[in-house]
Amino acid sequence: MIPMLDLRREFLDIEDEVVAAVIEVLKGTRYVLGPEVEAFERQLAKYHGLSHCAGVGSGTGALFLSLASLPISPGDEVITTPFTFFATVESIMYVGAKPVFADIDTRTLNIDVDLIEEKITDKTKAILPVHLFGLPCNMKRIMELAKKYNLYVIEDCAQSFGSSIDGKLTGTFGSAGCFSFYPSKNLGCYGDGGAVVTDNKEMYENILALRNHGSRGNYIHSVVGFNSRLDEIQAAILLIKLKKVESNNAMRRENAAIYTSLLSSAVMCPDIPMGYTSNYHQFTIRSPHRNKIKDALHEADVSSVVYYPVPMHLQKPLEQFGYRKGDFPVAETASEEVLSLPVYPGLSQEAIGRIAEVIKKCL
């Protein structure tokens, strides 16, 4: 059996360090917002070359708290992609704003920057680009539009830790970068976790209060906040795994290159623009014969996953906004053709060859 991700293999590689770190946290009895969280926040801010980092309870929390820290009110609009994980749109809806979609680019599967400007109205307050599967969006164009129309940019970096454009990391272009440390992520903990990185001090201080029930300390509450805090054990684990994220991302890129060399004549492989570096959180192929390929892989004991089978505008909670099938045809077609293959660090060349052979034989 070839799994989508081998977390056991990853754990065994760092088992001694993790066990020692967890024991130290338990001995220290500081379990929430303690020294491990502070150390991780410093390291993450430094990694991105930014001034501030706030550890939060999840990637969803990172997105939601970032939006909540801004002057976005019910009835305002946030432009984003219809082809993403649901956390992107629910975070917008949490603050009472309307998700306004621009269709995706058929090559990159990211938001089509040529379609954003026509979606901007006097109610638009922010753009929320998603660096899907680890491939950065066209941030140069997005930031030009944001400057032109005085909009905030909140980057959804849940899948793009370590990805970059001309050496500039995702999460460092906009007002804030939002990360998820869900176990399957390139930098993942052993539970839920997330973080926001930013150079905006006011935004950072607002998030610090919002993540902790609206309090800046001493049980004095300035606003109604939330409970979304990164805990000490997860931070201790993330500090260990942060040291290995670059080498692990490099292994993913090596695996992706092998896949591309074997499969590019049979299916559509990820298209990485010049100057862009993907962390290959997923290696996602496209084919009109997606379901046939998935069935063949299943028969061969190979895992594969469809990310994502239904675009956001067709999800039931968004019916209130009046979106219909056909509104975003590129995203709708992608949802019928995409299939993500195992690409994790430690996946052998032999396994990649076997997967490729099953796909080519099937077609």
160-201 pLDDT, tens digit each: 999 999 999 999 999 999 999 999 999 999 999 999 999 999
Quick: pLDDT tens for 265-303. Answer: 999 999 999 999 999 999 999 999 999 999 999 999 999
**Residue 308, preceding bond cis, omega within 30 degrees?**
yes
Q: In DSSP terms, which residues pair with 340 in a beta bridge?
A: 284, 305
**216 pLDDT above the threshold of 90:** no
Residues 2-11, mean pLDDT to the nearest whole number: 95
Counting DSSP H helices and E strands in the chain, the numbers are: 11, 14
| Mean pLDDT of all residues in 91-102 | 98
**Contacts (Cβ under 8 Å, ≥6 apart) of 256:** 270, 278, 280, 283, 343
Q: Report the chain's mean pLDDT, rounded to a whole number.
A: 97
Instruction: Name the CATH superfamily for 245-362.
Output: Aspartate Aminotransferase, domain 1 (3.90.1150.10)
Q: Which is it for strands 77-80 and 168-169: parallel, antiparallel or unpaired?
A: unpaired
Written as six digits, the tokens of 233 are: 């054990």
CA gap 280, 134 in Å, rounded: 5
pLDDT at residue 218, rounded to an integer: 85
- Cα torsion at 322, 323, 327, 331 (round to 10°)? 170
pLDDT value, residue 217? 83
**Architecture field, domain 7-102+109-242:** 3-Layer(aba) Sandwich (3.40)
* % of residues, the chain, pLDDT over 90: 99
pLDDT in tens, 129-165: 999 999 999 999 999 999 999 999 999 999 999 999 9
- Give the three-class secondary structure for 325: coil
Domain locations in the chain? 7-102+109-242, 245-362
> CA geometry: angle at 266 spanning 350 and 327, to 5°?
120
Segments of the chain assigned E as strands: 52-56, 77-80, 98-101, 124-128, 152-156, 164-165, 168-169, 176-180, 194-198, 215-217, 220-221, 276-277, 283-286, 338-341
